Structure 1
Amino acid sequence: MEEDKLTNYNKRLSEVKDKIIKVVAALESLENNFIASDKYFSAIREEIYNVGTEMLNAAYLLSDLMTDLEE
């Protein structure tokens, strides 16, 4: 049973890592759009939204994991 919990925690941490990687990629894209030209404001807005969404998803996953670890 403990091994199942550890496997589950490891899987969930991997999901968080994937979300963080997406956030970093979105931030890099955002930076590139700023550097490329100021005519990409629509794309920049979308990237900001995507970054916020991924950060929120990662926060929820971490919160759930921390709650389970406290039990």
Structure 2
Amino acid sequence: MRAGWKCQAPGCTAHGRRGGVRLYAEHIVERRDGGAPLDPANGQALCPKHHSEKTARERAKRMGQRPA
């Protein structure tokens, strides 16, 4: 795994292989927001906590709201 089996959120210590944490491979700029679907530079690995937080932020931005 390109991210070294680690969550790529700044300061996060979650580890997919040694820590048994599931990592989500996801787009930095979501596809529906114009992100390149197949560009490796538009990808990152996030732990469940950071994946959920980012998804909520991006959804709120699209809807013109502040994240909860």
Does the alignment reach a TM-score above 0.5? no
Bigger helix fraction = 1
Return the TM-score normalized by structure 1.
0.33
